[in-house]
């Protein structure tokens, strides 16, 4: 097994508006999250969120404490949310506990000196685990969350091409966390827009992970200040970082699903500053 990681530094909005396509993609897009028998991570300076992917094939993969953490255990000062996003049923070993995850199920793990391993049940169909991790000041109980246990909200309409179901899974209405909030939004066939009208929440950063997008299709993720928007074209199984000052919205050439994860000082999901569609530039 191996662990790959990289650092991403924070940008001032006045600087980011000068970036060309290559710089936008280098700083905000996470192109490769899954590699056989590898743990992939991006350590972001936006609220110090870590975005990662794990693909165990024929061996267990350890969640290692990468050097920037300067800690003996990954979760010494962190909490983590893990989603099953592809392949066979997966197993997460946490010390002497075992959690079995099926497609679109989530697992929250609280902070502590914990040994965590990832495993696929079928090497012929390796499990894809996607995770977000934020800093934590105290331990909260571990919990597996299924879609049936999520708080759901149906939004949008087919007429506006944004009929979608929001599954709030790792949020303060379902379990206690220090700052991590995660959920999954599923677009209905024929719908392509998400998070429109656009909004920002300056008390939280966010990461989006897009999946269930056909291999020959693409999603156009919109970011930037509401009057200085930029776009990044993305493929299936890719993620993007969204600073606190940026909108986060997208339209695609097909329906898709995405996982949103937030970190910051505010756990109120509804704490959003919306912008009129006609005011975006």
User: β-pairing, 38-44 with 2-8?
Assistant: parallel
pLDDT 10s digits, 139-188: 999 999 999 999 999 999 999 999 999 999 999 999 999 999 999 999 99
Sorted by sequence, the CB contacts under 8 Å of residue 49 that are 6+ apart come out as 132, 133, 134, 205, 207, 241, 261, 263
Sorted by sequence, the CB contacts under 8 Å of residue 46 that are 6+ apart come out as 8, 10, 205, 241, 242, 243, 244, 263
Tokens of 85: 């996003």
DSSP classification of residue 37 = T
- Does position 55 have pLDDT exceeding 90, yes or no? yes
Kindly report the pTM of this predicted structure.
0.96
pLDDT 10s digits, 215-272: 999 999 999 999 999 999 999 999 999 999 999 999 999 999 999 999 998 787 777 8
What residue spans define the domains of the chain? 2-279
Give the mean pLDDT of the chain: 95
Domain 2-279's class?
A: mainly beta
Q: What angle do CA 224, 228, 234 make, to 5 degrees?
A: 45
Predicted pLDDT at 1: 75
Comparing CA positions, the residue from 108, 106, 66, 50 lying closest to residue 263 is 50
Q: Tokens 């800093």 map to which residue? A: 135
pLDDT 10s digits, 92-117: 999 999 999 999 999 999 999 999 99
Predicted pLDDT at 202: 83
Predicted pLDDT at 119: 98
């Amino acid at each position: 097994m191996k662990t790959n990681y990289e650092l991403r530094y924070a940008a001032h909005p006045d600087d980011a508006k000068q970036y060309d396509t290559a710089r936008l993609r280098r700083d905000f897009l996470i192109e490769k999250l899954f590699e056989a028998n590898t743990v992939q991570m991006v350590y972001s300076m936006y609220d110090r969120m870590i975005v990662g992917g794990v693909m165990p094939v024929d061996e267990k993969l350890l969640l290692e404490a990468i050097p920037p953490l300067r800690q003996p255990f990954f979760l010494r000062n962190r909490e983590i949310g893990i989603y099953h996003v592809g392949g066979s049923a997966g197993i997460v070993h946490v010390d002497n506990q075992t959690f079995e995850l099926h497609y679109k199920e989530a697992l929250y793990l609280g902070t502590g000196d914990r040994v965590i391993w990832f495993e696929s049940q079928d090497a012929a169909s390796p499990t894809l685990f996607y995770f977000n991790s934020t800093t934590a000041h105290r331990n909260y109980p571990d919990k597996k969350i299924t879609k049936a246990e999520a708080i759901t909200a149906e939004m949008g309409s087919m007429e506006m091409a944004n009929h979608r179901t929001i599954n709030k899974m790792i949020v303060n209405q379902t379990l206690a966390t220090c700052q991590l909030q995660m959920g999954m939004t599923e677009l209905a066939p024929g719908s392509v827009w998400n998070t429109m009208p656009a909004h920002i929440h300056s008390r939280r950063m966010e990461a989006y992970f897009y999946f269930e997008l056909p291999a020959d299709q693409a999603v156009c993720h919109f970011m930037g200040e509401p009057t200085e928007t930029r776009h990044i074209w993305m493929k299936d199984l890719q993620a993007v970082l969204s600073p606190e000052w940026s909108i986060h919205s997208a339209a695609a050439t097909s329906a898709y699903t995405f996982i949103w994860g937030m970190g910051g000082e505010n756990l109120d999901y509804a704490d959003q500053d919306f912008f009129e569609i006609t005011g975006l530039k």
